[in-house]
Amino acid sequence: MKVLFFGTPEFALPSLKRLASEYQVVGLVCQPDKPSGRGQKLTPPPTKLLAQELGIKVFQPEKKAQIMPIVEEVKPQCIVVVAYGKILPSEVIAYPKYGCINLHASLLPLYRGSAPIHRALMSGEKKTGNTIMLMDEGMDTGPILAQEEEEILEDDNIRTLSNRLATKGAELLIRTLREWFEGKIKPVKQEHSRATYAPPIQREEYRICWKASAESVKDRIRALYPNCYTLTKEGERIKILRVRVLKEKGEPGELLSLKKFIVACGEDAIEVLELISPKGKTMSGEDFMKGYKVEKLL
């Protein structure tokens, strides 16, 4: 079976590796290399590095119009998409005999869009999962081939949950493809009336709003780990990595202890267990309070 794989970030790596072990992967299509880090050095996507290691030809189209010629060149019988990052042209979706199969990290129709894992964590969900879908022209609207639930653990953050979903999603993808190619699966139409959406994370969402409830603050920190931050009155930035909720009261942003890093929220409070200081050092909340004098966070 000739499969063309579309995928860009780290989340797609387990699926690409498993596909390459089971089928003839005739190419990888991923996003172009992008500047990264302080030096803005041009950096290849994770999937490109893996494809080169596996001897798979890599395509990095910059425009939508460049995608169909790639498909016509490699002539796939099936296209598999895992977090590619762009919507595919309708003629690409219609090309392969066995369709375009997408692994999406939510229980569709919930959390359609580009940030399903982030948004599930931010919403305080207790479970999520993976969906294997037969793509159509809509955004994550195609019929479902398979689904698998995954519990969201109390200490999960975006990294741990993403890694687990990526690994389990790859196995679900392989099992589903085997049955799909054998004609054993009948696609099930999504319940569009139940749909919710997971839009991209915006820069302003990384800043903590202390007027929110402590539970909401905790979920935001987990979802945006390790980049959620707050500011002191002096304008210094503190990245908050790990917290717990306490049943304490105060003015939002007020520090409630001289020894422990406890901050009042709109409802209840949080104790900061781990953070990155303004100087870039990772430390416990208690150690931070020994070296910094902070009365209120903005």
**Model confidence over 196-211: pLDDT tens digits?**
999 999 999 999 999 9
CA 25 to CA 5: how far, in whole Å? 7
Report pLDDT for 40: 81
**Model confidence over 105-123: pLDDT tens digits?**
999 999 999 999 999 999 9
Q: Yes or no: is domain 203-291 CATH 3.10.25.10? A: yes
CB 72, CB 59: distance < 8 Å: no
The yes-or-no verdict on residue 214 having pLDDT over 80 is yes
**Model confidence over 230-248: pLDDT tens digits?**
999 888 999 999 999 999 9
Q: What is the mean pLDDT of the chain?
A: 95
CB 12, CB 83: distance < 8 Å: yes
Share of the chain above pLDDT 70, in %: 100
CA 219 to CA 157: how far, in whole Å? 9
CB 74, CB 29: distance < 8 Å: no
Domains of the chain, by residue range, sit at 2-194, 203-291
Report pLDDT for 269: 97
Q: Which two tokens stand for residue 36?
A: 């990264």
- How sure is the predictor about 227, in pLDDT bands with cuts at 50, 70 and 90? very high
Q: Which residues of 222-238 are buried (b: 16+ CB within 10 A; e: fewer)?
A: bbbbbbbbbebeeeeeb
- The third-level CATH classification (topology) of the domain covering 2-194 is Rossmann fold (3.40.50)
Residues 6+ apart with CB under 8 A from 95: 68, 71, 72, 76, 79
The yes-or-no verdict on residue 41 having pLDDT over 90 is no
